Amino acid sequence: MQTNPWHSVKPETKNVYHDNTECTEGNNIEAHYRRSGTASRPRCEHCTRIDTGAGR
């Protein structure tokens, strides 16, 4: 399910944003590293695959 975008500010993570509540990569971001918005980053590949049905 699509929702408002979020991203991680943790230095070791991929420089992408997430916008799908089913994305395990996005859901694994620890609360203290999670920020709202896209931060002008590209969309997470997992979120895209979930939305197109390829991740199911």
Residues 3-12 pLDDT 10s: 999 999 999 9
Residue 55 has pLDDT above 80, yes or no: no
Distance CA(48)–CA(26), nearest Å, equals 12
DSSP sequence for 1-56: -EEEEEEE--TTS-S-EEEETT-HHHHTS-GGGEEES-TTPPBPHHHHHHHHTTT-
- In terms of Cβ atoms closer than 10 Å to its own Cβ (0-12, 13-18, 19+), residue 55 is middle
Question: What is the pLDDT averaged over residues 6-23?
Answer: 96
- pLDDT in the model for residue 53: 85
> How does pLDDT run across 28-52, given as a tens digit for each residue?
999 999 999 999 999 999 999 998 8
Q: Token pair of 34, please?
A: 């999670």
* Domain extent listing, the chain: 2-52
